[in-house]
């Protein structure tokens, strides 16, 4: 597998750099409620929620499965219309999908009959760009994500991580001010997932656009985000807004830093159900919730001394 992501500075078109300078990507969610169905069959997915995401922020929405994370994200994308309240991007009401918002799904969602180059060029082509422009944009983003030599391959010929890189490149090809990501690395193996997280941060740092990233993985949220928004169980609402103050840039060795454990305990303690939030019996620290299990497990704190089993 080709895991290289080349330096982006010399390849990013001027328009993408200008986005951050113009402070684009300001998301405001005001008193949004989302209910599916009517009458006795009505099911509330999101309770009244308000939120302000500043231009260029990397925000993770963290919560248990079924809490409405993806539904809230889809309201920003324009795929779901709120039952009440408003969603705006840069002061414009969201009434449907638009080129100012790129979307990356958990499943790769590529056109299987199109080559990798044509998948990336699809958005610019729909926007009315010429064939020359579309080809140039596609080649630029192929080089950005390290897949130039796979340009004429089809999605089925690529690994999962490579397909997701194509999905990210396709979402960025319209130069959106907001990138929306719905658990995009959830289906990947652990090693590829770590690599993709680092690649995503490289792209984000170069483009400077707003990213809203849905996950149920505490470690992933802390590693990526400036802010972690914690959602309650269904019907979901934002119950905590945590600022991650750890320095950037962040890389794989950084994951072992003591500061990560402190942030992990802080986020875990707030994302645990109030009635069933266990702690380490020796240290009183909240327990870390691994993404691979659905129950709370007790792990020793890094500060706790090891005890002999003899």
Angle, CA 50 vertex, CA 46 and CA 51 arms, to 5°: 115
Residue 23 has a pLDDT of 79
**CA dist., res. 108 & res. 110, Å (int):** 6
pLDDT at res. 252: 63
Q: Which of 32-46, 157-171, 256-270 has the lowest mean pLDDT?
A: 256-270
User: What confidence tier does 194 reach under pLDDT thresholds 50, 70, 90?
Assistant: confident
Domain range for 133 is: 14-245
**Above 50 in pLDDT, residue 291?**
no
Largest CA distance in the chain: 74
In a domain, residue 231? The reply is: yes
pLDDT for the residue 179: 95
pLDDT in tens, 108-117: 789 999 999 9
267 part of a folded domain:
no
Residue 281 clears pLDDT 60, i.e. is over it: no
- In a domain, residue 52? The reply is yes
Residues in a beta bridge with 28: 52, 88
| Tally of domains in the chain | 1
pLDDT band at 176 (very low <50, low <70, confident <90, very high): very high
**Higher-confidence residue: 267 or 167?**
167
Share of the chain above pLDDT 70, in %: 74
Q: Are 59 and 229 in contact (CB under 8 A)?
A: yes
Contacts of 213 (CB under 8 A, 6+ apart): 58, 59, 60, 61, 181, 184, 221, 224, 225
User: What is the pLDDT, as a whole number, of residue 85?
Assistant: 94
Position 271 scores a pLDDT of: 56
256 domain-assigned: no
Quick one: average pLDDT of 241-245? 89
Q: Are 168 and 202 in contact (CB under 8 A)?
A: no
* pLDDT at position 132: 92
- The position carrying tokens 């090891």 is 306
| HEC letters along the chain | CCCCCCCCCCCCCHHHHHHHHCCCCCEEEEEEEEEECCHHHCEEEEEEEEEEECCCCEEEEECCCCCCHHHHHHHHHCCCCCCEEEEEECCEECCCCCCCEEEECCCCCCCCCCCHHHHHHHHHHHCCCCHHHHHHHHHHHHHHCCCHHHCCCCHHHCCHHHHHHHHHHHHHCCCCCEEEEECCCCCCCHHHHHHHHHHHHHHHHHHCCEEEEEECCHHHHHHHCCEEEEECCCCECEEEEEECCCCCCCCHHHHHCHHHHHHHHHHHHHHCCHHHCCECCCCCCECCCCCCCCCCCCCCCCCCCCCCCC
Residue 295 lies in a domain: no
In a domain, 3, yes or no: no
d(CA 20, CA 13): 13
Which CATH number do you get for residue 231? 3.40.50.300
Indicate the pLDDT class of residue 11, thresholds 50, 70 and 90.
Answer: very low
- Residue 298 within any structural domain of the chain: no
Percent of the chain with pLDDT over 90: 47
- Cα–Cα distance, 110 to 127 (Å, whole number): 18
- With respect to residue 175, please indicate whether it lies within any of the assigned structural domains: yes
- Check whether 277 has a pLDDT greater than 90: no
Q: Quick one: pLDDT at residue 124?
A: 92
Q: Alpha-carbon torsion 250, 255, 261, 267, what sign?
A: positive
Least confident of 91-100, 132-141, 287-296: 287-296
- What is the structure's pLDDT at 88? 96
């Amino acid at each position: 597998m080709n895991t290289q992501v080349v330096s982006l500075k010399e390849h990013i078109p001027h328009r993408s750099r200008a986005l951050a300078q113009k402070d684009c990507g300001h998301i405001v969610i005001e008193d949004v409620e989302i209910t599916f169905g009517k009458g006795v069959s009505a099911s509330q997915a999101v309770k009244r929620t308000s939120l302000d995401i500043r231009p260029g922020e990397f925000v993770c929405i963290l919560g248990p499965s079924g809490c409405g994370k993806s539904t809230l994200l889809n309201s920003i994308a324009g795929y779901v219309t709120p039952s009440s309240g408003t969603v705006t991007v840069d002061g414009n009401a969201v009434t449907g999908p638009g080129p100012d918002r790129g979307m990356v799904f958990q499943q790769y969602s590529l056109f299987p009959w199109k080559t990798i180059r044509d998948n990336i060029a699809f958005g610019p082509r729909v926007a009315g760009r010429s064939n020359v422009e579309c080809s140039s944009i596609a080649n630029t983003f192929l080089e950005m994500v390290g897949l130039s030599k796979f340009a004429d391959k089809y999605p089925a010929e690529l690994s999962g991580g490579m397909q997701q890189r194509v999905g990210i490149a396709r979402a960025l090809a319209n130069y959106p001010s907001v990138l929306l990501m719905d658990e995009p690395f959830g289906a990947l193996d652990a090693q590829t997932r770590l690599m993709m997280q680092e690649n995503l941060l490289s792209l984000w740092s170069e483009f400077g656009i707003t990213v809203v990233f849905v996950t149920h993985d505490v470690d992933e949220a802390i590693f990526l985000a400036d802010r972690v928004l914690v959602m309650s169980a269904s019907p979901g609402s934002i119950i905590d807004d945590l600022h991650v103050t750890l320095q950037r840039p962040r890389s794989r060795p950084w994951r072992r830093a003591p500061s990560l454990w402190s942030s992990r305990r802080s986020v875990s303690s707030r994302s645990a159900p109030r009635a069933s939030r266990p702690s380490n019996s020796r240290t009183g620290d909240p327990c870390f919730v691994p993404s691979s299990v659905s129950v709370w497990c007790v792990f020793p704190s890094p500060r706790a001394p090891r005890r002999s089993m003899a």
